[in-house]
Amino acid sequence: MKNRNYIVHLAGIVAMIFWGMSFVWSTQVYENLNPTATIFLRLVVATIFLTAILFAFRLNEKVKKEHLGLFALAAMFEPFLYFIFEGYGLKNTSPIIGSGIIAMIPLVTPIAARIFLKERLTPMNIVGFITSFVGVIVLLLNKNLEFTASPKGILFLFGAVVVAVGYSIALIKLTKLYKPLTITWMQNIIGMIYFIPVVVIIERFEPSNFANVGGYILPLVCLGVFCSSVAYALWAFTFSKLGASRANVYSNLIPVFTAIFSYFIIHEALTANKIIGILVVVVGLVLSQMKGIKQ
C-alpha cells in the first residue's frame, strides 16, 4: 500500500515536470505561431499519439452516451478555455510569472472541492497550501520586491486558474467512471473539435507561419505528446487517488520546474529570491502531503 502511494505522488511530480517545461516549449513555438493555432496543432499531435497507444495496446474503453455531456463540459474547461487563457497570458508575460500564477490553482480548488465534492481538509493541508502560496509570491518578486508583469497577461492567467478549478471538479467525477488514458483521449478529441471554428474563423493561417517549421516542430510535438497526453493521463491518475484538493497542491511545483528549465534552456535569470521561492514551495508541498505519505 505504501509503495502504491509513492507511485501516485511520483505520477503527480512527473506531470508537473512536463507542465513546467510546457511554458518553455510554448514560448519557443509562439515565436512562429499564435497561441490558438499552437494549441490546436498541439491537440492534433496529442490525439494521434493517444489513439495509436490505445488501439495498439488494446486499452480503449467504450464511452457511454450518458457521459458525453460530462466529457464535453470537462473539455470546455480544459483544454479549450484553459489553453486560450493560458496561451494569451503566457504570450504577454514570462514563463516563470505565467507558471507562478497558474500555481495558485491549489488555493482555489479546496474551496470548490469543499462545496461541490464535500472533501475534507486537515490543518496540515491548510498549512501546506499557505506555505506554498508564500513561496509562489516570493518566486514572482524581483530583487527590489516588486511584482512586474503585464496586466493583460495576468488577467488571462487568472482566467486560466478559474477554469482549471472547474475542470478539477469535472475530472474527479470522470476518474470514477473511466481510466486516465480514456479521459485524456476524449478531452483532447472534443477540445480539438472546439478549436476548429476558432482556428478557421478567428485565426488565419498564412504561408509565412510555416516558413520556419523546423524551428518549432520539436517543441510542438513535445507539447502534444508529453504535456497534452502523458502529463494529463498521469494527472487523472493522481486525481483519482488523492482527490482534487491534495492533488492540485502539486501545481505549486510548476513554477519551480519552469524556473529551472527557463534558466538552462532560454537563459531566463534565476535570482536569489526565485531560489528561495522554489525552496518554500517544496516545503509547502511536503507539508500538505504528509498525511497522504504516511498512509
Q: What is the pLDDT of residues 74-98, one digit of tens each?
A: 999 999 999 899 888 888 887 877 7
Maximum Cα–Cα distance across the chain? 56
pLDDT at 246: 77
Residue 1 has pLDDT above 60, yes or no: no
The pLDDT > 90 percentage for the chain reads 36
Task: Express each pLDDT in 127-159 by its tens digit.
Answer: 887 887 788 778 777 666 666 567 788 889 889
Reported confidence tier of residue 200, pLDDT bands at 50, 70, 90: confident
Spatial neighbors of 242 by CB under 8 A, at least 6 apart, are 8, 12, 292
Task: Express each pLDDT in 228-259 by its tens digit.
Answer: 999 999 999 998 888 877 787 788 788 888 88
Residue 16 has pLDDT above 80, yes or no: yes
Residue 221 has pLDDT above 90, yes or no: yes
Residue 194 has pLDDT above 70, yes or no: yes
User: In Å, what is the CA distance from 149 to each residue of 40, 195, 265?
Assistant: 27, 28, 21
Residue predicted with more confidence, 116 or 59: 59
